[in-house]
Amino acid sequence: MDGSCEIDISPSVVNFYAQFNNIMTVLGKYNNEMAAVHLTNSYCVPSLLYACEIWSLSNSSAHSVRVALNNLFRRIFNCCWRENPQSLLFYCETLPALYTVDQRRILFYKKLKQHSSILIRTIAKLCQHDILSVAPKYGINRLDNSVSSIKKSMWQTFAASVV
């Protein structure tokens, strides 16, 4: 044990690919792309991002998460592996993996901050610096904004990067 708080997500990535391959096998060769996107977003992505609200990712783990979701879209839409799937993500109204991780972390922190327990609110204060350093890159300056406002800000940031 090296004393770091980083986690090994490789088992989640393996499970993600196994679930994705099962879905693609069941759908068959002539599948509906949007059905495949919906199924994978409903069943595969949650297992990949399980407990991401508390992750401390190394650069290689963050890369693995990003690659897994990008590969999913490349395979569903039969794209070249060198192509950037950002426009496909945008078309399918899906945030990139690391945007989703950040969104879930911000919303989780927001829940902790508003919890009735003083202990949970105190724990939230310990995480405040980490979350407040992530939120501004999405144009989120206050965490007392509504959940829909936070999600909208993150989507707009992504959409601006695609165009």
Q: 0.85 cut: is pTM over it?
A: yes
Please spell the DSSP secondary structure of the chain, one letter per residue. Answer: --S------HHHHHHHHHHHHHHHHHH-TT--HHHHHHHIIIIIHHHHTTTGGG----HHHHHHHHHHHHHHHHHHTT--TTS-THHHHHHTT---HHHHHHHHHHHHHHHHHT-S-HHHHHHHHHHHHHHHHHGGGGT---TTS-HHHHHHHHHHHHHHHH-
Q: In a structure prediction context, what are the per-residue pLDDT tens digits for the chain, which is 163 residues long? A: 455 567 788 899 999 999 999 999 999 877 789 999 999 999 999 999 998 888 887 888 889 999 999 999 999 998 887 888 999 999 999 999 999 999 999 999 989 988 999 998 888 888 788 888 889 999 998 888 899 999 999 999 999 999 7
| Domain regions of the chain by residue span | 1-94, 103-163
